[in-house]
């Protein structure tokens, strides 16, 4: 028997917003019911079961806050996220203190919406294009996979560093899933997305009556992750006051809910990540050195996409296959192939995914042209490529073409540095080990 689709209630009085949210959620394989006001929303909630609710803060017949209170009063186990106007987060903060799961600012970022929905519904992120990030054959990614297996056997904290878009949360999930804690929760939180006034209650929870609007007792992130792993993404964004409290919780393995006099023991493995230089922030005094040492017990660096160019054809084909959703994979024109293989991807995998998803949608199942790629947020034309341009030979495989331009790039770098491999590797943005491997594979003496 087929598993029933998860159902989401969308409440917004603007038809365009309702349609945008509905189409986005339908593409995620979810059932969607829309309501234009509070009365309709309450009626649907009385008649149907929902797994998630998304509600605008301002509705024709009241505030979205009223829906939060209604769910509490009716004891309906439906997580709710609030949509609020940009820069107006006070009510959203109050909604979260009253039991809302999260909030999004308008205009809504579809990427943030998808992330929020996956987190609320506990959808397996391995079903998303992020799976393509850590399954290549290059030496750089193979070293990461080897370290992940090794780190999974420990209970110590792991600090994952790397540029934005390199798959840090995916690596954290893999560490958790290969560990003895795999059957317990994996809780991920973006430290930069929590208002400072909410941080303590979010991390440690609160008792009923702890503050105005605290109508129910709530578990914090540490309690939710008990027995499992807590992933602190963008940990560098934690304010100093919260760093002190977090350090104590990690050291003592105990937390105290707001409004409680009792501490409770928690068994949590800490995994953290940031794209910022955490050591530099320690040096600048904006991140506590003692917390840094607690977090950076086992370091893991994720390489940027430019250090895995030999895997690009694999990543491109895999992503296009996923975006085709079972239909024929749209072919790439020669010009589009050349641009994708020569581009430097400052946004790494996230940018590659964005480029291909949008190009596949614009192509509509037909051949993807260079013009489809130019419509992405990061235009390919006009960017300085890390590799010399080369005319794509019709009929040649992607890998042959990639080998050719990679060989030319390495030789050019070696020539410009008088065959100093260390300097040539830096010029190309590669590690020395990766440079040596590439030279051996391509037969460069």
Residue 410, pLDDT score: 87
Residue 365 half-sphere exposure, CB side, CA atoms within 13 Å?
A: 4
Among 102, 119, 136, identify where a domain stops: 119
CA distance 223 to 266: 6
Residue 1 lies in a domain: no
Residues 342 and 361 in one domain: yes
How many CB atoms are located within 10 Å of the residue 4 CB?
9
Tokens of 88: 């107006």
Residue 420's H or E segment, with its range, is none
Nearest to 97 by CA among 199, 234, 225, 223: 199
Tens digits of per-residue pLDDT, 280-331? 999 999 999 999 999 999 999 999 998 888 888 888 888 888 787 667 778 8
Which residues span the domain enclosing 333?
305-376
CA distance 173 to 280: 26
CATH number at residue 91: 3.40.50.2300
Residue 384 lies in a domain: no
Say what percent of the chain tops pLDDT 70: 87
Q: What is the mean pLDDT of residues 131-156?
A: 83
Angle at 402 between CA 401 and CA 406, to 5 degrees: 120
Residue 131, pLDDT score: 45
Residue 233, pLDDT score: 93
Residue 270 lies in a domain: yes
pLDDT above 50 (res 170) = yes
Q: What is the mean pLDDT of residues 13-24?
A: 90
Residue 436 lies in a domain: yes
Tens digits of per-residue pLDDT, 252-292? 999 999 988 899 999 999 999 999 999 999 999 999 999 99
Residues 135 and 271 in one domain: yes
Residue 391 lies in a domain: no
Integer CA distances (angstroms), 238 to 86, 100, 273, 291, 320, in order: 22, 22, 12, 11, 37
CATH number at residue 202: 3.40.50.300
pLDDT above 80 (res 398) = no
Higher pLDDT, 215 or 36: 36
Range scoring the smallest mean pLDDT among 80-89, 183-192, 307-316: 80-89
Nearest to 342 by CA among 300, 381, 299, 287: 381
Residue 383, pLDDT score: 41
Among 323, 344, 376, identify where a domain stops: 376
pLDDT above 70 (res 92) = no
Residue 248, pLDDT score: 94
Residues 333 and 274 in one domain: no
Residues 113 and 137 in one domain: no
Give the bridge partners for 272, in sequence order: 159, 232
Residue 293, pLDDT score: 93
CATH number at residue 327: 1.10.8.60
The number of distinct structural domains making up the chain is 4
For the chain, give me the number of helices (H) and strands (E)?
A: 19, 14
Residues 284 and 371 in one domain: no
CATH number at residue 433: 1.10.10.60
Residues 277 and 148 in one domain: yes
Among 322, 343, 376, identify where a domain stops: 376
Residue 390 lies in a domain: no
Which band of pLDDT confidence, cut at 50, 70 and 90, is reported for residue 86?
Answer: low
φ/ψ of residue 183, rounded to 5: -85, -5
Residues 19 and 99 in one domain: yes
């Amino acid at each position: 028997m087929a598993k029933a689709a998860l159902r989401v209630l969308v409440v917004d009085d603007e038809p365009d917003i309702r349609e945008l949210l509905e189409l986005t959620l339908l593409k995620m394989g979810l059932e969607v019911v829309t309501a234009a006001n509070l009365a309709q929303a309450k009626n649907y909630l009385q008649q149907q079961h929902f797994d998630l609710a998304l509600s605008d803060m301002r509705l024709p017949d009241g505030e979205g806050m009223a829906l939060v209170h209604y769910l509490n009063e009716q004891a309906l186990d439906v997580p709710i996220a609030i949509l609020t106007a940009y820069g107006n987060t006070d009510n959203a903060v109050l909604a979260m203190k009253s039991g809302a799961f999260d909030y999004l600012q308008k205009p809504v970022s579809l990427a943030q919406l998808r992330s929020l929905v996956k987190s609320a519904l506990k959808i397996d992120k391995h079903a998303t294009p992020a799976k393509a990030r850590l399954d290549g054959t290059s030496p750089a990614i193979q070293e990461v996979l080897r370290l992940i297996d090794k780190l999974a056997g420990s209970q110590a904290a792991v600090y994952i560093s790397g540029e934005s878009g390199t798959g840090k949360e995916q690596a954290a999930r893999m560490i958790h899933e290969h560990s003895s804690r795999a059957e317990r929760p994996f809780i991920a939180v973006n430290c930069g997305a929590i208002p400072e006034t909410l941080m303590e209650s979010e991390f440690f929870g609160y008792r009923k009556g702890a503050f105005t609007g605290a109508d129910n007792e709530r578990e914090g992130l540490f309690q939710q992750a008990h027995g499992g792993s807590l992933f602190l993404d963008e940990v560098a964004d934690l304010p100093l006051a919260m760093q002190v409290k977090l350090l104590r919780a990690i050291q003592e393995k105990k937390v105290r809910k707001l409004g409680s006099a009792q501490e409770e023991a928690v068994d949590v493995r800490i995994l953290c990540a940031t794209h910022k230089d955490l050591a530099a922030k320690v040096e600048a005094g904006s991140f506590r050195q003692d917390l840094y040492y607690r977090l950076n017990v086992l370091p893991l660096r994720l390489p940027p996409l430019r250090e895995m160019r030999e895997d690009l054809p694999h990543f491109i084909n895999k992503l296009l296959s996923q975006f085709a959703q079972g239909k024929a994979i749209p072919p790439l024109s020669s010009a589009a192939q050349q641009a994708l293989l020569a581009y430097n991807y400052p946004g790494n995998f996230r940018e590659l995914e964005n480029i291909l998803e949008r190009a596949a949608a614009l192509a509509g199942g037909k051949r993807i042209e260079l013009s489809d790629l130019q419509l992405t947020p990061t235009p390919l034309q006009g960017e300085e490529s890390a590799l010399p341009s080369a005319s794509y030979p019709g009929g040649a495989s992607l890998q042959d073409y990639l080998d050719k331009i990679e060989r030319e790039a390495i030789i050019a770098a070696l020539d410009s540095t008088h065959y100093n491999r260390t300097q040539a590797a830096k010029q190309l943005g590669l590690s020395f080990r990766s440079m040596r491997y590439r030279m051996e594979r391509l037969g460069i003496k």
